[in-house]
Chains A and B, each alone.
Chain A
Amino acid sequence: KNEVEQSPQNLTAQEGEFITINCSYSVGISALHWLQQHPGGGIVSLFMLSSGKKKHGRLIATINIQEKHSSLHITASHPRDSAVYICAGGSQGNLIFGKGTKLSVKP
């Protein structure tokens, strides 16, 4: 069992839908990262959070330290949001990554 688990593995949505991707972890962490990976491999950091909630445009990330759980929400989804979303947690540089959630948003 991976120490960082994401669900769902695959997600198909219609344009405009509200999307939630979940991440649970069993390791102690000092920070949790949400990353976006597009076809071709390029990775972009979306959020880094250690408590509470962060918002950037249509993206919202939350974390519950007690429950060891984080969620990434996308409001008003768009086909350009189609990508693999990865959560990663750890401390002192040694991050453990989830397998990713492959999101496909249909027009």
Chain B
Amino acid sequence: EADIYQTPRYLVIGTGKKITLECSQTMGHDKMYWYQQDPGMELHLIHYSYGVNSTEKGDLSSESTVSRIRTEHFPLTLESARPSHTSQYLCASSDGFNEKLFFGSGTQLSVL
């Protein structure tokens, strides 16, 4: 049902590398979100976007950046990966802030 896609699905990378996690949706949603989830733990908001050229920081935003140049695309960049970044990263979108969320399949990141 969900037309929201994340790549890569899995990524293993060395400490210090710059990485970009991709997220695209074809539903024309204005609102997009990035969440981080450790195993067995709750999701935490990293960044969200109201629409093109509009981004906001969440609780865990300090070590990453996002951009929203096109409605359908919301990439997340880690400038210098660290082992503490090892986690699952989930992208989501919605038609409005109080609307149903659609999630991508996630990117499982391992930083060695």
- Chain A residues in the interface with B (C-beta under 8 A): 2, 4, 30-31, 33, 35, 41-45, 48, 50, 86, 88, 91-95, 97-100
Task: Name A29's closest neighbour in chain B (CB-CB).
Answer: B98
Task: Name A94's closest neighbour in chain B (CB-CB).
Answer: B45
B42/A98 in contact, CB under 8 A = yes
- Tell me which residues across on chain B come within 8 A of A86, comparing CB atoms: 42-43
- Tell me which residues across on chain A come within 8 A of B12, comparing CB atoms: none
Q: Is B101 in the interface zone, CB < 8 Å from A?
A: yes
- Tell me which residues across on chain A come within 8 A of B2, comparing CB atoms: 44
Would you list 29 pairs from A and B whose C-beta atoms are within 8 A, ordered by A residue? A4-B42, A30-B97, A31-B97, A33-B100, A35-B103, A41-B37, A41-B88, A41-B90, A41-B105, A42-B103, A42-B105, A43-B90, A43-B101, A44-B1, A44-B103, A45-B100, A45-B101, A45-B103, A48-B99, A91-B97, A93-B31, A93-B33, A93-B45, A93-B50, A93-B56, A94-B45, A95-B43, A95-B45, A100-B42
A30 to B58, CA, bound (A): 18
- Tell me which residues across on chain B come within 8 A of A35, comparing CB atoms: 101, 103
- Tell me which residues across on chain A come within 8 A of B90, comparing CB atoms: 41, 43
Contacts A41-B90, A48-B98: A97 and B42 contacting too (C-beta < 8 A)?
Answer: yes
A97/B98 in contact, CB under 8 A = no
A48 to B96, CA, bound (A): 12
A30/B98 in contact, CB under 8 A = yes
B98/A42 in contact, CB under 8 A = no
A2/B42 in contact, CB under 8 A = yes
Task: Name B31's closest neighbour in chain A (CB-CB).
Answer: A93
Contacts A41-B90, A86-B43, A98-B42: A93 and B105 contacting too (C-beta < 8 A)?
Answer: no
Contacts A97-B42, A99-B41: A92 and B88 contacting too (C-beta < 8 A)?
Answer: no
Contacts A41-B88, A45-B100: A93 and B43 contacting too (C-beta < 8 A)?
Answer: no
A97/B43 in contact, CB under 8 A = yes
